[in-house]
A and B are shown apart, each in its own frame.
Chain A
Amino acid sequence: MLSPDSIAQIDYEIAKYPVNQRQSAVMSALRIAQVEKGWLSTETMDFVADYLGMPAIAVYEVATFYNMYNTAPLGRHKITLCTNISCALMGAPEIAEHLKEKLGCGFGETSEDNRFTLKEGECMGACGDAPLCMINNHRMEGFLTPEKVDSILEELK
């Protein structure tokens, strides 16, 4: 169900916890599964549940509780824009408008060509670089301007 490489990564995470605490690796396992599959289908979550010896419902609870898991299919790239206070002070609303106009979709939506899903995010803990966004959960871009946004969009084919 998951690739041998993903399984090896999950095993590395499991080894961080005491032997009878495999469930502690669920957040990492879901993250690794999501990187491979793009989003977390019920089938993927059930696989993670079996692999860690957890009830499936406990895995669903985790996947729906934390903001960075994708529990529905989405565009090829996910852009999460922080609009919280420090980013808002530094122009996040203008960046949001620019992104919506360029992508032709609003927060929580996917562009028509399926390239981008736009999300509104909460504080990412890097307010000195405001305004900022996260691309596909693992890359952060700060000091955003409309021009910088354009070049990021251009780069993400």
Chain B
Amino acid sequence: MVIKGGEVIFNTVHLPESWKLSTYVANGGYAALRKILSEKTSAETIIAEVKKSALRGRGGAGFPTGLKWSFMPRHFDGDKYLVCNSDEGEPGTFKDRDIMQLNPHALIEGMAIAAYTLGTRRGYNYIHGEIWETYERMEAAVEEAKAAGFLGDNICGTDFSFHLFNHHGYGAYICGEETALLESIEGKKGQPRFKPPFPASFGLYGKPTTINNTETFASIPYIIREGGQKFLELGKPNNGGTKLFSVSGHVNRPGNFEVPMGTPFAELLEMAGGIRDGHTFKACIPGGSSTPVLPAEIMMQCTMDYDSIAKAGSALGAGSVIIMDETVCMVKALERLSYFYFEESCGQCTPCREGTGWLYRVIHRIEHGQGRPEDLDLLSDVAHNIGGRTICGLGDAAAMPVQAMLKHYRHEFEHHIEHGKCMV
């Protein structure tokens, strides 16, 4: 797998043992934390800097990070928590694993800065179950940071204390939903909570909690060290900074690429070695399996930022680009995705629990030559009745790919139903 370095997060990946504390510190690491502690920078100043950077949540929702931080009650008398969402399980997404694997201290420093800003003394990093080696890497990095005085009591000799712990998941996509993740840390089934109340007022153990994605936290040291303006200028207005794009599927060189927000998609595709040899580009899922598929000709006009992809009718999500060539049958692709949501639905809300199974069974029969002419309307109807009717976004995530596939590739589904077989 290819790793393309960049200015903010993958700035040291070309170095041997980039994950070591010594490598991190030798390249400007922990300078931002030291600076705010020695200068006693106010929380308002830090939040203003993060707002200026136009950093938006890298977990998929794109919510402005500075704004999210401002929701946290700062003068709350009692425990508050900071949580990192490293439960990366959306098909097509694999960036947080490489951040923790190659530059874990950027995440730790980012969380320490956030903890200082938000007044939290305890934090948890929830790591996806299937990446055990990455969990071990993070455990080692936390120990290193503790031994060097960047975590624990009296950080850098000041009265600021922050204790960070890794929590290992054990296989549940739904725990990427932030309130399911909190339930999971509490030692329960990962079933999402009703919102409101939002985590900023009722989070982990019922206390005010701020949750950000791994890449979001890992971007913070750069913003504090170099300034929000510089981060913003790396990208484009309203889409600050660089972003990690995970490119998988039918390309010659799949991997993670750190590039400025607003990079033309065509350039990213070229970095990934282009479509695999001898094939042509058919379609792209630009932001992970929940985001609507886009045909190649639309995708080639896009730039890689929240606004451009949204304008094209999809979403940047977590920057998880799945590339499909002309050999892909869209019915079969959708069948697999629908099975995923059916399998991973937590079962709490009826429209999702029943609807995801219904979607899967109908697509399965179309794929297997038993589709009925009325099935396409049925699919639209079921998808429509899941979307917006559930506690969390998993229902919408199951419905959106169906609607987008029917919008752009309806003829493939019709062909399957009419002829009982595939047209590709």
**In the complex, per-residue mask of B339-380: 1 if CB is within 8 Å of any chain A CB, else 0:** 010011010000000000000000000000000000000000
B94 x A65 contact (CB < 8 A): no
Q: Tell me if A129 and B1 are in contact (CB < 8 A).
A: yes
Contact A137 B340, beta carbon cutoff 8 Å: no
B246 contacts the other chain (CB 8 A): yes
Smallest beta-carbon distance B83→chain A, Å: 12
Residues of chain B within 8 A of A126, CB atoms compared? 94, 97, 130-131
Cβ of B93 within 8 Å of any chain A Cβ, yes or no, is yes
Across the interface, name the chain A residue whose C-beta is closest to B207.
A18
Give the segment of B36-44, B180-188, B383-391, B410-418 that binds chain A.
B180-188
Q: Which of A54-62, A95-103, A105-113 contacts B (4 or more CB under 8 A)?
A: A54-62
Task: Decide yes or no whether A67 CB sits under 8 A from chain B.
Answer: yes
Q: How far is the CA of A24 from the CA of B184 in the complex (A)?
A: 8
The interface residues of chain A lying within 8 Å CB-to-CB of B76 are none
Q: How far is the CA of A129 from the CA of B190 in the complex (A)?
A: 27
- Name the contact of A83 in the complex, choosing from B184, B336, B344 (C-beta under 8 A): B336
Q: Which of A17, A30, A52, A86 contacts B91 (CB 8 A)?
A: A86
Question: Given that A21-B186, A24-B187, A62-B189 are known contacts, is A30 also in contact with B170, CB under 8 Å in the complex?
Answer: yes
Bound: A42/B131 CA distance, A: 27
Interface centre among B166, B170, B186, B248 (most CB of A within 10 A): B170
Q: Which residues in B have their C-beta under 8 angstroms from that of A23?
A: 186-188
A123 CB contacts on chain B under 8 angstroms: 89-93, 173, 289, 340
B340-A84 in contact (CB<8A) = yes
Is there contact, CB below 8 Å, between B170 and A68? Answer: yes
Interface contacts (Cβ under 8 Å), in number, total 159
Tally of chain A residues near chain B (CB < 8 A): 45
Chain A residues positioned under 8 Å from B131 (CB to CB): 124-126, 140
Please tell me if A47 contacts chain B, counting CB pairs below 8 Å.
no
In the assembled complex, which residues on chain A have CB atoms less than 8 Å from the CB atom of B97?
Answer: 125-126
Which residues of A have CB within 8 Å of B124? 16
- Name which residue of chain A comes closest to B165, CB basis: A16
* B63 on the A face (CB < 8 A): no
Q: Which residue of B lies closest to A88 (CB)?
A: B336
- Whether a CB of chain A sits under 8 angstroms from the CB of B270 is no
> A73 vs B172: C-alpha distance in the bound complex, in angstroms?
21
Cross-chain contact A139 with B336 (CB below 8 angstroms): no
Q: Which residues of chain A come closer than 8 Å to B187, judged between CB atoms?
A: 21, 23-27, 52, 54, 58, 62
Please indicate the chain B residues that have their CB under 8 angstroms from the CB of A84 in the complex. Answer: 91, 289, 336, 340
Question: Which of A16, A67, A127, A137 has most B Cβ within 10 Å?
Answer: A127
Instruction: Report how far A17 CA is from B128 CA in the complex, Å.
Output: 19
B170/A122 in contact, CB under 8 A = no
Q: Which residues of B contact A62 (CB under 8 A)?
A: 187-189
B322 touching A89, Cβ below 8 Å? yes
**Cα-based distance from A122 to B169 in the complex (angstroms):** 14
A residues near B (Cβ < 8 Å) are 16-18, 21, 23-28, 30-31, 52, 54, 58, 61-62, 65-69, 83-86, 88-90, 121-130, 134, 137-140, 142
Interface residues, chain B, CB within 8 Å of chain A?
Answer: 1-2, 79, 88-94, 96-97, 122, 124, 128-133, 165-173, 184-190, 205, 246-250, 254-256, 285, 289, 320, 322, 324, 328, 333, 336-337, 340, 343-344, 346
In the complex, the 7 A-B pairs of residues with the closest C-beta atoms, listed nearest first: A67-B171, A23-B187, A124-B130, A68-B171, A128-B1, A127-B248, A138-B132
